[in-house]
Amino acid sequence: MRSPSLPQWAIFAVIGALLSITGFISNNVDLGFFGIALTFACFSGALTCCVRSDNPAKRILEVVLMFGSFVTIFYGYFLTGSLLLLGFTALIVVILFVGFVLSYLAPKLLRKTGKA
């Protein structure tokens, strides 16, 4: 599967920005926070897929943008109590937990089976 190109990332970033503006203008704060998080995630994805560099500053910026996306959703939930943002918060926590557990267990299982 091909990774999205820069124009595709830009389209999603613009959609995220429009969602955030629309959400805050219409007093729908959870839509605004979701738009901000989508914009941060698109910038991070565009850096990851479209900028070919091993520069440490690029990696730090990718991490900061993804962290900004997560923090935006967490903050939006704690500020508004929205069920939509609660679902996203729970999904993020579960995915991070599974990622850490698998990164811990996978090397042990591979060593045990003799593949590593």
pLDDT band at 30 (very low <50, low <70, confident <90, very high): confident
pLDDT band at 1 (very low <50, low <70, confident <90, very high): low
Give the model's pLDDT for residue 25. Answer: 93
Token pair belonging to 22 = 């629309």
Q: Could you report how far apart the first and last alpha carbons of the chain are, in Å?
A: 28
Q: How far apart are alpha carbons 15 and 17 in whole angstroms?
A: 5
Q: How far apart are alpha carbons 46 and 39 in whole angstroms?
A: 11
Using the predicted structure, report yes or no on whether residue 104 has a pLDDT greater than 70.
Answer: yes
Give the model's pLDDT for residue 46. Answer: 85
Using the predicted structure, report yes or no on whether residue 115 has a pLDDT greater than 60.
Answer: yes
Q: Would you kindly state where each structural domain of the chain is located, as residue ranges?
A: 6-113
Using the predicted structure, report yes or no on whether residue 18 has a pLDDT greater than 70.
Answer: yes
* The residue to which tokens 């990774």 are assigned: 3
